[in-house]
Amino acid sequence: MEENVIVIEGLSKNYKRWFSSKGTKALDNLTISVPRGSVFGFLGPNGAGKTTTIKILMDLIKPTTGSAFVLGKPSYDVDVKKRIGFLPDSPAFSRQLTAREFLNICAKLLRIPSEQRNETVEEALHTVKMAEHAREKLGSFSRGMLQRIGVAQAILNKPELLILDEPLLGLDPYGRQEFKQIIIDQQKKGTSVFFSSHILSDVEEICDRIAILKKGHLLCTGELDKLLAASGINVVITPGEDKVFKELMTDAEGSVKNPDGGWTLSFPHNNPELLKKIEDMKKESPDALAISASREKLEDFFFRTVENANV
């Protein structure tokens, strides 16, 4: 079995305009891989090229150069799609069809045997909590309801790999909670998930890996824990140790007063002198301060990475 469910190598995409030689460069030499079994968050500001990448993976858009492999097959392989679930960025389906009919069409296209089809459709409708709307036409659905149907059609075939473009968009707080549960359940079943999102708190909660993209360039990719842990250290100062506090306060990046009257100061990793100074103080008076690796919030990490990048 392949190690990686998605392998993207040197992918570039230039959208050509009709009457101009210069197009829009949406992706520039992108290389990412997604290991089997992971939940991978694909992040980046608007226009970073997330949708473009995802559409190339689904062979809806042809890359200018480079190649993409899904489940070990080139992205243009038609049969491999039987093993993938996909949610497009703005799900739109034939308005005159009812939810159940639409899912039935999808099930047929996914080559689910006819004797299992009804059961599979009902199960998917149930999973996304849309069973009571199964007989209503899609044209009458709200944005979030369509999103739910979109998720339902993506999980119909019990896919090995889920590729979702902004699955949280348009969902209410309940919907977001349910969606996260669906993803966690899918991961337990062994499904790998690759999705783009702007809701960083949710990404932090469910993803084990991320990649950040800006203007078509990859800024970073890797395990979430490692990326966030590498960002600095926290120093907790015992209440009453004002001398230590005053000495360190000026160099700290951030300071938070603790409920017990002490302080938590955060320091960046990239200042060896400062780190040395903290270590020395710790040796001098071990009770005055406690050092721990700080885990940055994904949101802070995202802003820092995107703003520091010069692309």
Ligand X SMILES: Nc1ncnc2c1ncn2[C@@H]1O[C@H](COP(=O)(O)OP(=O)(O)OP(=O)(O)O)[C@@H](O)[C@H]1O
Say which entry of Mg ion, other proteins, ligand X, none residue 84 contacts (CB below 5 to 8 A, set by partner kind). Answer: other proteins
Question: Of the two residues 165 and 204, which places its CB atom closer to other proteins in the complex?
Answer: 165
Q: By CB under 6 A, is residue 63 in contact with ligand X? A: no
Options 43, 48, 61, 210; binder of other proteins; rule CB under 8 A: 61
Which helix (H) or strand (E) covers residue 295, if one does? none
Report the C-alpha gap between 199 and 191 in whole angstroms.
Answer: 22
Does residue 70 bind other proteins (CB under 8 A)? Answer: no
Alpha carbon distance 93, 222 (integer Å):
35
Size of the site for other proteins (CB under 8 A): 33
What is the distance between the alpha carbons of residues 110 and 78, in angstroms, rounded to a whole number?
11
Distances 305 to 41, 61, 211, 214, 267 between C-alpha atoms, Å: 15, 28, 11, 10, 17
Copy the structure tokens of residue 23: 């197009």
Phi, then psi, of 121 in degrees rounded to 5: -65, -45
Among Mg ion, other proteins, ligand X, none, partner that 131 touches (CB below 5 to 8 angstroms by kind): none
CB closer to ligand X, 166 vs 241: 166
- H helix or E strand, kind and range, residue 302: helix 298-308
Beta carbon of residue 51, minimum distance to Mg ion (angstroms, whole number): 3
Q: What minimum distance in Å lies between the beta carbon of 285 and Mg ion?
A: 53
With CB under 6 A, what is the number of residues at the site for ligand X? Answer: 11
Beta bridge partners of 209: 40, 223
**Closest CB to ligand X among 28 and 241?**
28
Token code pair at residue 208: 């084990």
Q: Which residue from 11, 27, 42, 51 is in contact with Mg ion, where contact means CB under 5 A?
A: 51
Sign of CA dihedral 1, 54, 78, 139: positive
| Binding flags for other proteins, 110-129, as an x/- string (CB under 8 A) | xx------------------
d(CA 212, CA 306): 8
When asked if residue 100 is in the footprint of other proteins (CB under 8 A), the reply is no
d(CA 144, CA 154): 15
Smallest gap, in angstroms, from Cβ of residue 216 to other proteins? Answer: 16
Give the interface size with Mg ion as a residue count (CB under 5 A).
2
H helix or E strand, kind and range, residue 23:
strand 20-35
Of 21-60, which residues contact ligand X (CB under 6 A)? 24, 26, 44, 46-52
By CB under 8 A, residue 97 contacts other proteins: yes
Q: In this chain, which stretch among 50-58, 79-87, 112-120, 230-238 interacts with Mg ion, using CB under 5 A?
A: 50-58
CB atoms within 10 A of CB 206: 18
90, 116, 142, 258: residue in contact with other proteins (rule CB under 8 A) = 90
Binding site for other proteins (CB under 8 A): 15, 55, 58-62, 78-82, 84, 86, 88-97, 101, 105-106, 108-111, 150, 153
